[in-house]
């Protein structure tokens, strides 16, 4: 950081000095132009020659100073690119890979028709859907692989969705996994109980594709 500031300060001084030199050169030209008799063609020719000389000599030296001051900064920038360029490219590559990886969603519902509906509504290029018809099968799947999100039906035979959620939330591996409850009932008590036992959100059946994707998009 100190080296960068030193080089930038040196560049600033060179630019400032170049500005002063160029300003002085134009002041000199202005004085010369004011002293010439513009009615005299010879004087006008001298003025033109003075302008050419100014371009060739007076401007060259200040610009060379700026160029010389820029070289250390350019070398410093090149060194930064050499040192950190590979790391930056690695981060970019990882970001690109993360965008291409499909997010895994587990649907736990005993209704085969609901499996088809959700499968059609999810974008195959963005999500990978796995299904379980009951909480017992879901538990086996969750023990072997943790999905990015779980869609869990409340009304299921045997172990219902609320009890299943209580058991799932006891697993450390699922502590941060979002759970969205699916219910055919929208009573406030059902929603409150779902949230109390660890649900992140809920969707009332029937739902459309826009609603499903919006709910999932809150967490993925």
Distance CA 202, CA 190 (A): 10
- When computed from its CA atoms, the radius of gyration of the chain, rounded to whole angstroms, is 36
Q: Which two tokens stand for residue 129?
A: 């859907």
Distance CA 129, CA 132 (A): 10
Distance CA 211, CA 148 (A): 18
- The model's pTM is 0.56
SS3 state of residue 158: coil
Structure confidence at residue 64 (pLDDT): 74
Torsional class of 190: left (φ above 0), alpha (ψ -120 to 50), beta (otherwise): alpha
Low-confidence ranges of the chain (pLDDT < 70): 1-48, 50-59, 62-63, 66, 93-100, 125, 185-187
Residue 180: closest CA among 213, 208, 157, 158? 213
Cα separations in angstroms, 41 against 46, 51, 88: 9, 15, 63
Structure confidence at residue 67 (pLDDT): 72
The per-residue pLDDT for range 8-51, each reduced to its tens digit, is 566 566 556 655 666 565 555 555 555 555 555 556 566 667 66
């Amino acid at each position: 950081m100190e080296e960068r500031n030193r080089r930038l300060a040196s560049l600033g001084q060179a630019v400032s000095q170049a500005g002063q030199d160029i300003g002085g050169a134009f002041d000199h030209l202005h004085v010369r132009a004011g002293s010439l008799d513009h009615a005299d063609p010879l004087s006008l020719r001298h003025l033109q020659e003075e302008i050419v000389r100014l371009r060739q000599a007076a401007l060259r030296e200040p610009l060379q100073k700026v160029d010389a001051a820029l070289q250390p900064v350019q070398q410093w920038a090149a060194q930064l690119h050499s040192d950190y360029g590979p790391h930056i490219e690695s981060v970019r590559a990882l970001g690109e890979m993360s965008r291409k990886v499909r997010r895994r969603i587990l649907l736990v519902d005993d209704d085969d028709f609901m499996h088809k509906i959700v499968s059609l509504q999810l974008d195959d290029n963005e999500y990978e859907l796995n299904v379980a018809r009951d909480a017992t099968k879901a538990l086996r799947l969750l023990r072997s692989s943790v999905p990015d999100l779980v869609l869990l039906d409340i009304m299921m035979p045997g172990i219902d969705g609320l009890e299943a959620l209580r058991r799932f939330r006891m697993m450390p591996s699922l502590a941060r996994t979002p759970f969205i409850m699916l219910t055919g009932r929208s009573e406030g008590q059902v929603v409150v109980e779902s949230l109390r036992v660890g649900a992140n959100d809920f969707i009332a059946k029937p739902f459309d594709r826009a609603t499903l994707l919006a709910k999932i998009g809150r967490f993925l």
